Each structure stands twice: as C-alpha cells, then as structure tokens.
C-alpha cells in the first residue's frame, strides 16, 4: 500500500494583510523619504555656505561614523522595550532636525554636523530595535518578504526623494528640507504607536556589564553554524562593493561620458535593487538562504568583471545586474539573524551583524581609490570579479547539511 503523501505546508498569507507589517513598511517609506532628501541636501547646503568640497563630504562621514559603535548602540535595543524606544528615537530626531532651521551661516555648521552625527547614532539604535521588534511582530514565514519589501521601499525612496529634496532646497533652502524630514519622523511616531506587539522582557541582568552584553551578539554570530558564513559573505561582499563603487567614475570615463553619467548607472542599479526587494521573499523560500545569497553574489561578481568592457548597453546591463544581485545577501543575512537569534539577544546581534557587513564598505572605497591609478580599470575589474565570485563558493558547499546543523543548534539554544 502506497503511504499517503505528506500534506503540503500552508502557503504564507500575503504580507500586506498583516497589520504590523503594513504599519512598519509605511513608516519605512515615510521616514526613508525624509532621510534620502536630507542626505543630498545636507552636502549641497554645506557646499553653498562654505564653497568647500571637503566640508560637504564630511556630512556623509558624520552620519556613517557611528556605525563603528553599532554593537554597543544596538545593546540599548535589548535593555528596554522596543516600541517605546522606536517612538522616542523618532521624536528625538524630529526635535533635533527642527533646530537646523536656524542654520544660515558657516559659523552654524557645527550644529549641522552634530545633528548628523546624532542622526547616524540614533539610526543604528532605531534599526536594531525595529529589526528586533519585527521579528516578534511579523510572522516568521513572512520575514523574508518583509525585508525584501523594506529593501524595495528604501531603494525606491533613493530614486525619488533626492530629486524632491533638491527641488525643495533650491526653492526654500536647507531649513525647509530639515523641516520636511522632521515631519516624516513625526508621522512615523503616529504609525509606531498603532503597532500591536507583545515584547519579551528586556535583558537587564545586573551581573553583566554593558561590554559583556554587547559581546554576546558577536559570540552568537560566530558560534552559529548558519549565521557565521552568511555574515562573513555579507561583509566580504560589501568590501568588494565599496571597491567596485570607487571605480564607477573610471568606468564612466572609459565609456567616453561626462561624470554626470554616473547618475544614469546608479538609477539603473537602483531599479535592479527595487526589483530584487520585491522578489526576495519568494526566492528565499524557493532556493534557501545559502543558495539565494550565493546566486546574488555570483551575479554581482560577474557583472562587476564585465564592466571592464567599454560598451554602453553592457554597462547598463551590468548596473542592473549589480542592483539585482547585491541585495540578495543583505536581505538573507538580516532574515537569518532575525530567525535564528533569541528575542532577548536580537537587538545587539542585528547591530553587530550590520557593523560587520557594512563597515567593510568604507575599506573597499579606500582600496578602490588607492588601486585605480597604479593598476588601471582593465586588469582591476576582472580580478575583482573573480575574487568576488569566490565568495559565493563556501555558501554552495552542502547547504542542506549546514541548514540541518543550524536547525539543531537553534533548537538547543531555544528549547520549547
């Protein structure tokens, strides 16, 4: 007698039918619009006030520097309730941004740089708290879909908001852009207050110092057999992405275009990333975490290597492929961390993973800037593509066995 076939697992319900997911994604879109608008306007603002390109570049440095303290800042998301923390972070940023309406002379720029630094630090705490709260508020079967749509929303805002911010700045000046960003954070506060969540008790063990609690996230990532290779692959990918990004002006020069053509390539790449975000949830379910990340890395690596051939159609196709492939490993890492980390440890683990993945991007940018002159574009891009492609190989090594080992480890760490 033929044994009965096991029942098929139920299909996950549409993500946007989930109350909390709708609120989160709306908040991401609204606040992301304001952040992207300010990102462009702040540099233009400083350039107009001082005429200095170096000071204008410091705007991005001020926002990115707190990333180095990500693990310590993320610990805060495990020591307090996350929903009130999200609300407080958005209120703080809204208040600080309103102070920028007083900036109208070079002597006021200390205030702008201070606000941008606090903006970056608060953003790290915000992202850690949000990712941890999402993992408890959204069905685990929908986390890949949520993170993919979040990526799509973020990339969509990067395409639209800088243009809106530039137009607002040109018409009304920097204070108007700061006020717009403040308003988006206030709207996000209203959305976060409507979340329906049941949070775990915060981690407030008096026997552990802040430093000891911070290192717990790193230890969890290192000891977990599924998370460790994914985070390492993510960090290596962003290292090479930074190097590839530093070569973009040399690519445009080889094509025979003015530097402004980089905007076209970035727009095409953004469209690819938006598409990747929309497809990430179904693709994660179909291929699994390791294969999905590996395929995305491989696509990005091949596209980066082919950029050495100076042809406009190929350059546009490569930009689209990089935009499509790069988010795969980023969405995978975040989704895996959310699924395989105990709730009380999730804030600092997400922040640590983000630091390990995104901090190498800065090193890659510096390496690309140092290597392009002595080596040239033609040999550098194929070498980069080959090295990048090698990053995907460990993820393809017996992924099913690694997933079973990780599942047993997760069960041992989180007994029912």
Smallest Cα–Cα separation from 178: which of 119, 239, 136?
Answer: 119
Q: Which CATH number fits domain 210-413: 1.20.1740.10, 3.40.50.12240, 1.20.1250.20, 3.40.309.10?
A: 1.20.1250.20
User: The pTM is what?
Assistant: 0.79
Structure-token pair, residue 338: 């959310």
- CATH entry 1.10.287.70 includes domain 16-192: no
In order along its 416 residues, the chain shows pLDDT tens digits of 455 555 554 555 567 677 888 888 888 888 888 888 887 788 888 888 888 776 887 887 788 788 888 888 888 888 888 899 999 999 999 999 999 999 988 888 999 999 999 999 999 999 898 888 888 878 778 888 888 888 888 877 777 777 788 788 888 888 999 999 999 999 999 999 998 887 767 766 665 677 778 888 889 999 999 899 999 999 999 999 988 887 887 888 888 887 667 778 888 888 898 899 889 989 998 999 999 999 999 999 999 999 999 999 999 999 999 999 999 999 999 999 999 998 888 888 999 999 999 888 878 877 887 887 788 788 889 999 999 999 999 898 765 545 444 444 444 434 33
Measured between its terminal Cα atoms, the distance across the chain in Å is: 36
Three-state DSSP at 37 gives helix
Round to whole Å and give the CA distance between 228 and 238: 16
- In the block, tokens 């600092």 appear at 348
Same CATH fold assignment for domains 16-192 and 210-413? yes
Smallest Cα–Cα separation from 201: which of 342, 390, 70?
Answer: 342
Domain boundaries along the sequence of the chain: 16-192, 210-413
């Amino acid at each position: 007698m033929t044994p009965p076939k096991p029942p098929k697992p139920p299909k996950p319900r549409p993500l946007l039918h989930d109350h909390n997911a709708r609120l989160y994604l709306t908040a991401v879109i609204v606040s992301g619009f304001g952040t992207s608008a300010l990102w462009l306007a702040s540099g233009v603002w400083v350039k107009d006030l001082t005429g200095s390109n170096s000071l204008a570049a410091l705007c991005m440095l001020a926002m990115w520097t707190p990333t180095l303290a990500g693990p310590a800042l993320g610990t805060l998301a495990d020591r307090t309730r996350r929903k009130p923390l999200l609300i407080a972070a958005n209120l703080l940023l809204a208040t600080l941004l309103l102070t920028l309406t007083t900036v109208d002379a070079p002597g006021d720029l200390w205030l702008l740089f201070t606000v941008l630094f606090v903006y970056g630090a608060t953003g790290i705490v915000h992202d850690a708290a949000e990712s941890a709260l999402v993992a408890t508020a959204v069905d685990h079967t929908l986390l890949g879909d949520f993170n993919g749509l979040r990526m799509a929303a973020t990339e969509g805002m990067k395409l639209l908001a800088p243009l809106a911010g530039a137009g607002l700045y040109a018409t009304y000046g920097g204070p108007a852009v700061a006020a717009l960003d403040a308003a988006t954070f206030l709207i996000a506060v209203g959305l976060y207050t409507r979340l329906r969540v049941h949070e775990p008790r915060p981690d407030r063990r008096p026997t552990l110092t802040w430093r000891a609690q911070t290192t717990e996230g790193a230890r969890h990532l290192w000891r977990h057999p599924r998370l460790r290779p994914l985070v390492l692959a993510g960090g290596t990918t962003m290292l090479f992405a930074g190097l590839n990004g530093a070569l973009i002006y040399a690519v445009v020069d080889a094509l025979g275009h003015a530097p402004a053509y980089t905007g076209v390539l970035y727009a095409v790449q953004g469209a690819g990333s938006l598409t990747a975000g929309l497809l990430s949830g179904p693709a994660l379910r179909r291929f699994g975490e390791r294969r999905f990340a590996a395929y995305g890395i491989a696509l990005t690596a091949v596209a980066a290597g082919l950029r050495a051939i100076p042809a406009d159609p190929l350059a546009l196709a490569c930009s689209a492929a990089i935009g499509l492939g790069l988010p795969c490993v980023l969405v995978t890492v975040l989704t895996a961390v959310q699924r395989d980390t105990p709730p009380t440890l999730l804030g600092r683990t997400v922040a640590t993973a983000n630091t390990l993945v995104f901090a190498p991007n800065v090193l890659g940018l510096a390496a690309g800037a140092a290597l392009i002159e002595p080596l040239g574009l033609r040999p550098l891009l194929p070498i980069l593509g080959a090295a990048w492609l090698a990053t995907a190989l460990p993820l393809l090594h017996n992924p099913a066995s690694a997933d079973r080992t990780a599942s047993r480890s997760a069960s041992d760490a989180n007994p029912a």
